Structure 1
Amino acid sequence: SFLLIPYFSDASRINGNVAGDSVIERNTADTEYTTSYSQIKNNKNLLDISQRFDVMSVLKNAGELEKNYVRSMQEYGTYVQQNYLEIPEEIKKTIKQLSCHVNKENSILYNIEEIQKFLKNNYQYTYRPGLTGQDKDPVNEFLTERKRGFCTQFASAAVFLFREAGIPARYVEGYKIRADQWRLGKAQVTDYEAHAWTEIYIEHIGWIPVEVTGRDTGESVYKHVEQEEKQRNAIVPNKKQFVTNVKKMFQMIPIVIILAVIFAFIKLLQKKRKWNQMTNKEKVLFYEKQLEKYAENGAKSRNNSNSMTSEIIEKARYSNKDITRHELNLVKRHLDLLKRKNRNVTKILTKLK
């Protein structure tokens, strides 16, 4: 599992393994860990610092440690340029047709504000975005047809808008903690705070978060969903319905059972037909939600399986390339493995009670 840490944390003091350039893997069974971090209240200050940063002056007056740091950042900057500016051709064509005026000639701050304004004014936030259409790219459909989505859709679209402006960007998921959640130096974080946003890379600074959803997310949204579900499913029985003839009730039982079986069979056929109509991309994204559920329940699998599955899911999300049957089966086998492990854990816990 990955460690959840604030931005600009001191990674050297964290008991974990850095995986790639985006996450730190837990390498201990400890449930608590401590880290120090720098608090940045305004990202604009970081942009100002990056513009005033003079590499030659630093190298001229710095010690060997500082020089190595600058060289490392320069090498990583080259890596970022090579890996975080790619845009699928279909999405690139779509962006050209949008009224979002971003380009490489504008300042970074201008492009940030332009993208935030464009998404806020032209797209609607909803906690029920629905399924992506058959054979359609989810980001492309959000930008051109659906024009409504959750934080996931907003952040994914912003990644490619920033890249079109020549700004390296990537999609991030985590937790968004509000200032009013802190009490005596502690904040209680639940699934209500789960959120998705965009990170952009600023030379000499690193990755910084950019909020593009355009509205607050969190507990209020999810409580609204729960309340709506309760209202929809609420049944106010008529008391007279309970005063029925016992004989007639028993006569109806076989009919009710037959109807229930028929209804269940029809639902099964509809579900199977819908599944067969889904693309491999949609099936992978469906499996992703199941994987998240079992991961939350504590089921784990080997790192190489996790890595392959993550790569396939990223491909399904952002690439315009099709998901092969082999890749789909790999994700399915990973899910089946987590299900079996979850059942085994449940059995063990039951025996211990």
Structure 2
Amino acid sequence: MKIAVDAMGGDNAPKEIILGVEQARDLYPELEFLLYGDETQLKSFLTDSNHIKVIPTTEMIEMGEEPVRAIRSKKDSSIVRAANAVKDGEADAFFSAGNTGAVLAAGLFIVGRIKGIDRPGLTSILPAAHPDTDKQKFVYLDTGANAESKEKNLVQYAYLGKFYAQKVLGIENPTIALLNNGEEADKGDRLHKAVWQLLDDADDLNFVGNVESSAMLMGKADVVVTDGWTGNAALKATEGTAKTMLALIKDGIMNGGLRAKLGYLLLKPVFSTVGKGMATSTHGGAVLLGLKAPVVKTHGSSNAEAVKNTIGQIKAMIESQVISQAVEYFNNQEVLEKMDKSNEND
């Protein structure tokens, strides 16, 4: 199994990318890595080249560059070269922590989308917790691949999410919810009202209605569907809230006197477990679901641990053949016809 890595992408690249790759290589000796980037920089951080091949590139796509223009003009960039390796069959998957738009564009225009999927969606598996349910994780898409979406795109995300939850989370008949500004069926703008109706009418989707962002992590559904703009905004708000709460708790402990500090020592294992469960580094990257091969984008600020965990996620995807199964599933004429019902409203 070979993974093509954009070693220059991310705030901490290439050091943390290479460190994470080496940790994953030691953990999964059956993996091989193709590292694309500046040869001098990559080799300065690489301590052991076993199962790792450095492939020099002369260009780099910066975080603020216009995505489509960048991948078309910078053919020798680490992102474009890594995506081409997957397209040409030299690698089984593409991983990057770099420019999100460029990774999406490379996935769409180089790796290619599955027939019947108009716009692939960034898909994350997020933690869920609720005292009245045993749900621990749920599938969430689109988290930012498409700022604007049509009704048919969100319906396609529901089918993509359903398939991913079945194959990755092992849920036979996953429940599906639509992220909206209220739980009632008539909530939202024209787009969300129309999507609600289409999902409710689909007899092969286990649709349970709307879910508000405040309840998104509470285990209401196995799959939460949203447009990319809303999905990204809600995800960042959730991450920001978690960080704020941790900062407030820390401040309360530090300024709460001896009793607060003793209480923290007693509860330290609990804080550690909760913190690890909520950390973005624990759950890997976001999959650009709807493409012909695994394309995984992790957070730009990812450290070595996040890189290692994301590679573990990619390994599981390759072994389970979830993407090749998705290609076969969505090439089924019956599935395409069910999804195409939404075209009548667009």
Please confirm whether the aligned pair reaches a TM-score higher than 0.5, indicating the same fold: no
**Superposition TM-score, scaled by structure 2 size:** 0.23
Structure 1 or 2, whichever has the larger Rg, is 1
Which structure shows the bigger proportion of residues in strand conformation? 2
